[in-house]
């Protein structure tokens, strides 16, 4: 997502043995989640469909975003290429802004920041630019989530508008005074804003019509 840095950047931080091990452990944890917890036929009978779907999505994210992509980053950096991991300890976020802007899926963040947020800041101001960037992100997720599911249209977009609202709240005078942008209160506010409305993002039609059939096909059940 950052071709200049990838192709011409220098000073790539070489991965340590512990980083290699950590990336591999996340990959293994994701595979275990998928193939032991979710894909076993007995689990499909014992678990509620929504729980199977959510656990399966967790496994996929652990395998790809946290595991495989981190290993690829280690491999590139081992060869001297500046390819930072796309996930930067999301659980360490002390605010919603920090989560989306500095820690979660940095490849998509860089794309949205470069082509949406920055061009809109000067003519519209930072608040409007933020709203439109998150609106665009929501529409993209509606295309890849709601369209294949054949339902739940607009819910992923609403989820991302909630995130934009949360960022504006924590950056407001009241939010800063309440400590919503830092420390323990910031962490709790961030978790609440990310998790409470998450069923808008991964809604029931997506679980029933896309995720669970994919898991059944993957496991042959």
- 115 pLDDT more than 70: yes
Band of residue 43 on the pLDDT scale cut at 50, 70, 90: low
Share of the chain above pLDDT 70, in %: 91
Residue 108's CB is within 10 A of a number of other CB atoms, namely 14
Of residues 106 and 96, the one with the higher pLDDT is 96
Lowest mean pLDDT among 13-22, 30-39, 111-120: 30-39
Contacts of 65 (CB under 8 A, 6+ apart): 86, 87, 105
| Alpha-carbon distances, residue 170 vs 87, 98, 118, 124, 180 (angstroms) | 23, 11, 21, 20, 5
39 contacts 103 by C-beta, under 8 angstroms: no
What's the predicted TM-score (pTM) here?
A: 0.90
- 79 pLDDT more than 80: yes
128 contacts 203 by C-beta, under 8 angstroms: no
Of residues 107 and 9, the one with the higher pLDDT is 107
pLDDT value at residue 81: 87
The residue to which tokens 């491999």 are assigned: 75
Distance of CA 113 to the CA centre of its chain: 15
68 token code pair: 């495989």
Share of the chain above pLDDT 90, in %: 70
d(CA 6, CA 10): 9
DSSP alpha helices (H): ranges in 142-182?
A: 147-149, 155-171, 173-177
Q: Give 166-215 pLDDT, tens digit per residue.
A: 999 999 999 999 999 999 999 999 999 999 999 999 999 999 999 989 88
Contacts of 40 (CB under 8 A, 6+ apart): 219
Of residues 37 and 1, the one with the higher pLDDT is 37
107 token code pair: 């490849």
Q: Give 45-63 pLDDT, tens digit per residue.
A: 667 778 888 988 999 999 9
pLDDT value at residue 80: 86
What number is the average pLDDT over the span 52-80? Answer: 92
Q: Give 118-133 pLDDT, tens digit per residue.
A: 999 999 999 999 999 9
- The one-character DSSP state at 91 is G
The residue to which tokens 């946290």 are assigned: 66
Contacts of 77 (CB under 8 A, 6+ apart): 12, 13, 14, 15, 83
């Amino acid at each position: 997502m950052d071709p200049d840095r990838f192709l011409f950047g220098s000073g790539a931080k070489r991965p340590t043995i512990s980083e290699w091990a950590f990336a591999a452990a996340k990959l293994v944890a994701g595979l275990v989640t998928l193939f032991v917890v979710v894909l076993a036929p007995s689990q499909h009978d014992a678990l509620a469909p929504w729980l199977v779907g959510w656990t399966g999505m967790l496994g996929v994210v652990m395998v790809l975003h946290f595991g495989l992509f981190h290993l690829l980053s280690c491999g590139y950096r081992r060869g001297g290429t500046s390819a930072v991991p796309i996930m930067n300890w999301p659980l360490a976020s002390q605010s919603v802004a920090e989560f989306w802007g500095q820690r979660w899926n940095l490849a998509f963040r860089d794309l949205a920041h470069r082509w949406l947020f920055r061009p809109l800041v000067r003519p519209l101001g930072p608040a409007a630019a933020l709203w439109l960037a998150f609106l665009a992100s929501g529409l993209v997720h509606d295309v890849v989530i709601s369209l294949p599911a054949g339902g739940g249209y607009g819910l992923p977009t609403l989820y991302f508008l909630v995130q934009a609202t949360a960022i504006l709240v924590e950056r407001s005078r009241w939010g800063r005074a309440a400590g919503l942008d830092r420390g323990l209160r910031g962490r709790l506010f961030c978790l609440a804003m990310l998790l409470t409305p998450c069923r808008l993002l991964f809604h029931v039609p997506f679980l029933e019509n896309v995720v669970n059939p994919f898991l059944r096909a993957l496991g042959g059940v």
